[in-house]
Chains A and B, each alone.
Chain A
Amino acid sequence: MSQATTAAPGAAARGRAGRGRKVNTFPLLAPSVAALLVWMIVPLVLTLWYSLQRYNLLYPERRGFVGLQNYVYILSDSTLQTAILNTIVLTGAVLLLSVVFGTLLAVLLNQEFWGQNLARVLVIAPFFVMPPVAALIWKTMMMNPIQGVIAWVTQSLGLGAISWFQNWPMLSIIIIVAWQWIPFATLILLTAMQSLDHEQMEAARMDGAGAISRFRYVVIPHLSRPITIVIMMETIFLLSVFAEILVTTSGGPGHATTTLTYLIYIRALLSFNIGGASAAGVIAIVLANIVAVFLMRIVAGTLERR
């Protein structure tokens, strides 16, 4: 108590600018930093260590240090490039769809109409469905070319059935994953829309701005920060999309839907090649951190303007 009182005049003198100088933030930050440090460092160190070893879980006796051999193998495998490219395509496409449709849905659901609350819940609902279940629903009941609902609709229209997973494997996965993540974007953006200044919109209308230019010059700038948050959060989850691929295409046909995560899955949990999987994991971490730095730039920019 007495300590705080003596510190107060100084703090007052420094005013807002002095914020943070006197307070020791260490005890506040320590728990979460320590927890995450352990959570990150332990698997990371183990992964690095294993990546330098010949280590197949099914051959416990054949374990030994092999230097960079695991990296040599994986980097000389053309599948790695394909997998990285697929990961970028999947993540990029879903992000784009999330932002575009999320924005459109948010604008639509923000209008006044009957049954607004229920409709909003329906649109957001796919976010509550567990990924493996979502994948199975789409594979069996929606996209199946014989028993599926989509085939029934297209056939009724005389268009014939589409062999989704055979002819459009990546597109199919993108649709399924986007279906789960557009609602998340909608939720965040809808929330942001509600805080959009009505008077600002009215003013723009008075100035003779049409619906499109109002959208372009008032709504979009207002949404830029929430969009950044959507991109950031979704990227994290999209990089490790896995169940949707396993359930539907198993990474095929060929390597058409093999992503980096799926590649690691094949090595780690089908071949139980822990050494090889760890090397792939290290590569994944390096790439993820490049993405992180890239994201950081965008985020830092939008966080400044408030």
Chain B
Amino acid sequence: MKKSNGRKFAYTVLAWVVALLVFFPILWMLLTAFKTEKQAVEVPPLLFFHPTLANFAVANSRENYLHFAANSVIVAFGSTALALMIALPAAYAMAFFPGRRTKDLLMWMLSTKMLPPVGVLVPIYIIFQRLGLLDTRAGLVLIDTLMNLPIVVWMLFSFFRDIPGDILEAARMDGVTPRQQMVHLLVPLALPGIASTALLAIILSWNEAFWSINLTAAHAGTLAAYIASFSSPEGLFWAKLSAASVLTVAPIMVFGSLTQRQMVRGLTFGAVK
């Protein structure tokens, strides 16, 4: 059963070559963040250079990074929590008490995501303005919740369907209400699945750029707005943009890596078995 070391070695080489190839653009961005603007556009591209931290200093002093990062965290976690709260009962109902229309309902939910945001900016902008939601974190939380809700319902639905119905049936025999079933039985059972759904929602919300830029001004801007202040000015900008991007990508990447195992476990348990 044990694979030979030679074979393991071959796989190691192959997998690492492929992994580095895929990761290369990010690696290059990381390198560029430590170059001067002049070095960044050098031909042929520089591999060895004297690293500088100047770009990070600029990225920090010009805009208040922490302000944007805090908004990103609040919006990503807030919208994910809200989406889970709304989606859990729905997914529960659809998974354990499916009706004739359940599949249509699920598909309809997904289709709400197919309207391109660029087409509805103006109507939404006007609505937000009337409701006083422009440039508020609450407004962004609301938008991101609605954006992610269909996906969250879908994923939870898939996870729940893998939980044996007998367990819930037994609980019901013991006189447990649906609400109690959900809170005390279902949630603990499906926790890995719920966790990975949450992670996906957090990542999607973190990377959402269109609404976060267009519905905010000075208060509620997330890291997407932060990036937009470093991208494509007049003059050289690769190094500064790289530094800003590293700062933007780093938190979510560290978070994603730390929780990758959790995510994989959750997904294994659910949707993809």
Residue numbers of A with Cβ under 8 A of B are 1, 4-5, 8, 11-12, 15-16, 19-20, 23, 25, 27-29, 31-33, 35-36, 39-40, 42-44, 46-47, 50, 57, 105, 108-109, 111-117, 119-134, 136-138, 140-142, 146-149, 152, 156, 179, 182-183, 187-192, 194-195, 225-226, 229, 232-233, 236, 239-240, 242-243, 247, 260-261, 264-265, 268-269, 272, 274, 277-278, 280-281, 284-285, 288-289, 291-293, 295-296, 299-300, 303, 306
Query: Contacts A20-B96, A36-B150, A128-B207 known; A141 to B115 CB distance under 8 Å?
Result: no
Docked pose: A115 CA to B9 CA in angstroms = 11
Contact A39 B25 (CB under 8 A): no
Distance in Å from the Cβ of A44 to the closest Cβ of chain B? 7
- Whether A124 and B112, one on each chain, are in contact in the complex, defined by CB atoms closer than 8 angstroms, is no
29 pairs across A/B with beta carbons < 8 Å? A16-B166, A20-B96, A28-B89, A28-B93, A32-B89, A44-B115, A108-B14, A119-B15, A119-B16, A126-B25, A128-B252, A133-B249, A137-B28, A156-B44, A191-B264, A192-B273, A194-B268, A226-B271, A229-B158, A240-B117, A243-B210, A247-B232, A261-B119, A264-B116, A268-B119, A284-B114, A284-B116, A288-B115, A295-B110
> Which B residues lie at the A interface, using CB under 8 A?
3, 8, 11-12, 14-16, 18-20, 22-26, 28-29, 32, 41-45, 86-87, 89-90, 92-94, 96-99, 103, 105, 107, 109-124, 127, 145-146, 149-151, 153-154, 158, 161-162, 165-166, 169, 172-173, 175-178, 203, 206-207, 209-210, 223-224, 227-228, 231-232, 238, 241-242, 245, 248-249, 252-253, 256-257, 260-261, 263-264, 267-268, 271-273
Taking the closest CB of chain A, its distance from the CB of B58, in whole angstroms, is: 17
Asked whether A291 and B114 contact (CB < 8 A) given A16-B165, A29-B89, the answer is: yes
Determine if B19 and A130 form an interchain contact, defined as CB atoms under 8 angstroms apart.
Answer: no
The 8 closest A-B pairs by CB, nearest first: A288-B114, A20-B97, A281-B119, A226-B272, A28-B93, A191-B267, A192-B272, A28-B89
Q: B166 — nearest CB in chain A belongs to which residue? A: A16
Do A8 and B175 form a contact, CB below 8 Å, given A125-B253, A194-B264?
A: yes
Contact B264 A105 (CB under 8 A): no
Establish whether residues B89 and A128, one from each chain, have CB atoms under 8 Å apart when the complex forms: no
A239 to B119, CA, bound (A): 13
